[in-house]
Amino acid sequence: MNTACRIFSAAVLAAGLARGEVAVRITEPPDGAILNRHDGEVTPAGLKITVKGVCGPEAAVRVNGVAARVGNGLFEAPVTLKDRETRLVAEAAGARDTRTILWDRDSFPRYRFSTDDNIWFLRDIARNAGRYGSIFENPYLAMWRGMREKYGARIHFNIYYETDGFNLSMMPDKYKPEWQANQDWIRLTFHARANDPDRPYIHASGEKVGEDYRLVTREIERFAGKQLLSPATTVHWGETTLDGARALRKEGIKILAGYFRLQDGRPSVSYYLPLEQVRYLMGRDYWKDTREDLIFIRHDIVINTVPLDQIDAWLERIAADPHQSEVMELMIHEQYFYPDYVAYEPDYRERVERAIQWVTRRGYKSVFYEEGFLGAPEQTPSR
């Protein structure tokens, strides 16, 4: 069964049941759902949730051994999640249906700040290597260090291999000790080979994606060190083929961020995911493709697209939905920082700071996703 077939609408299932094609099917939560404290009742035994589905009108349904309440072809059953990953099994009339779901067990309000399309600041550092005594003499990187010093922000840079007149092989390694000294708040990862063409991996082979990933990653390791890498990234335009995503997973990428939106009714900036998964992610922080072992995180705001005076209201709207507010994914693109860029935003720094101020005031902690489960370290039970 392919990925597109693993989340079903209740209407489709009900029609199938009426034709006698299926005896029981779980509809909520879907396979790959990542649940947290907002999705059920936290108890000493675990997270108590309600599993829902459709079944035959006279079916006796059990979910993980618990008798379900059945009526009008629908069922509900309480299940307590005790582990990070749980397999749900619904059984009726000799038939069964399964889902694998995850529990963000140690969840707390947290945010990740990532920046896309990065290459120009590295070109500036390389061109001024004879003059700069520090990478933070670059104005862009100095701005981000200011956010670190003022708010404790940690920043993830998704970078290109090349731009006009420069590629990463030209980046000197003389600053490697300084990169290493700042590994607690800086991450550098693959974004694409270059800014152009648009959507470079929407039809690309896994071989091509893997080749470009290795090209960028080898240079990061050389001039900055493996310690600054991450298993999370955002691919340029958030589009890959399934083979491309599999190539990234083979290289060690476990988490992909994107917009997960619809454009003209079709998925956009959504990697290889089909309509049903994208619709689910439009109202959620995260979801896992259990077949491909990849977690998808939805961007909550693309800061360069939101005017300064609207940033607070934008984030307040997201925070009003508990299913979207636990993990705040903040993002901006590098090029809008520069006065000579055609779409320069003179309030770039102010927009960045406004977003960071908002999450800081609301008690969100800056994280990298590799530190624990999506940035939530496992808590040691009190004794």
Q: According to the model, what pLDDT value does residue 59 have?
A: 85
Rounded to the nearest 5°, which phi and psi values hold at 279? Answer: -60, -40
pLDDT digits (tens, 9 = 90+) for 188-238: 999 999 999 999 999 999 999 999 999 999 999 999 999 999 999 999 999
Q: What string of pLDDT tens digits covers the 383 residues of the chain?
A: 333 333 444 454 555 555 455 589 999 999 999 999 999 999 999 999 999 999 988 789 999 999 999 999 999 999 999 999 999 999 998 899 999 999 999 999 999 999 999 999 999 999 999 999 999 999 999 999 999 999 999 999 999 999 999 999 999 999 999 999 999 999 999 999 999 999 999 999 999 999 999 999 999 999 999 999 999 999 999 999 999 999 999 999 999 999 999 999 999 999 999 999 999 999 999 999 999 999 999 999 999 999 999 999 999 999 999 999 999 999 999 999 999 999 999 999 999 999 999 999 999 999 999 999 999 998 755 43
Structure tokens at 192: 């694409």
Q: Which residues are CB-neighbours of 119 under 8 A, at least 6 positions away?
A: 159, 160, 161, 162, 163, 166, 195, 334
Q: Could you read off the pLDDT of 118-127 as tens digits, one per residue?
A: 999 999 999 9
Sketch out the chain's domains with CATH numbers: 3-103 (2.60.40.10), 110-366 (3.20.20.370)
Scored b (16 or more CB within 10 A) or e, 156-177 reads bbbbbbbbeebbbeebeeebee
What is the pairing mode between strands 294-298 and 255-258? parallel
